[in-house]
Amino acid sequence: MNHYEQYADVTFEQQGQDTYVTAAHADLELHGIGRSAAVFRIKDTRLVIKVFFPDYTHIAAEEAVIYRTLEGLPQFPRLYEAGVNYIVIDYIEGKTLFECLTEGIWIDASYIQQVDAALIAARRLGLTPSDVHLRNLILTPEGRIYLIDLARFRQGQHVDHQWEDLKRMYRFYRLRFMPKRYSERLLNGVAYLYRTFVNDPRR
């Protein structure tokens, strides 16, 4: 029995390149909208439901398989339920590393090491992580890193070039004279140029 299927009845509207939620269950609080889905926190729980847009519902099954494969690893949320167009996972309280940069929150080398450890563990389980970026890395108040948005963990890339490039940039970030806070506009611009001229892991 699917306990959370009732929450997956969400209506979306597309306007140009953007997608908006026009109707959702009263117990859902919109947490964010991405390229393929909207994420809602379920009222009075420590869970979120990720509801995929109509053209991307196939990703729900793909992500469910990945979360089940990673079950028990401490750097990944737990999967509670999956349906035709949704998955239900742990709500992770914290800030993305992207938000850390825009708010001037120090990104410690230990956080990078945690990500590396998570990727190594995933590869040992036969997955091939890719498209790891600042928006899908969450830092909790306790200093733990979680990885989310795992649909691209089965794309056959044995090296995540994007993550390796981010680590190279981190070497400069750590230098004393480098800024520790950046505008969202600047970071988005850099990401656009990177995807356009260097490497787009979504292709």
Q: Take residue 92 and report the two structure tokens written for it.
A: 């992770």
Specify the pLDDT at position 198.
84
Specify the pLDDT at position 120.
95
In the sheet with 145-147, reading across from the earlier edge strand, the strands are 95-96, 137-139, 145-147
Specify the pLDDT at position 158.
67
pLDDT in tens, the chain (203 residues): 689 999 999 999 999 889 999 999 999 999 999 889 999 999 999 999 999 999 999 999 999 999 999 999 999 999 999 999 999 999 999 999 999 999 999 999 999 999 999 999 999 999 988 889 999 999 999 999 999 998 888 766 667 789 999 999 999 999 999 999 999 999 999 999 998 988 765 55
Helix (H, G, I), strand (E, B) or coil at 58: helix
Tokens 């945690």 correspond to what residue?
114
131 is catalytic: yes
Q: Take residue 182 and report the two structure tokens written for it.
A: 């950046």
Where helices occur in the chain by DSSP H, the ranges are 58-69, 97-103, 109-124, 161-173, 184-197
Question: Would you put residue 195 in left (φ > 0), alpha (ψ -120 to 50) or beta?
Answer: alpha
Q: Which domains does the chain have, with CATH numbers?
A: 5-90 (3.30.200.20), 95-197 (1.10.510)
Q: Is residue 201 a contact partner of residue 130, using CB atoms and an 8 Å limit?
A: yes
Q: Return d(Cα 58, Cα 33) in angstroms, integer.
A: 17
Specify the pLDDT at position 144.
97
Residue 173's φ and ψ, nearest 5 degrees, are -55, -35
Per the residue annotation, which of 44, 108, 116, 131 is the catalytic one? 131
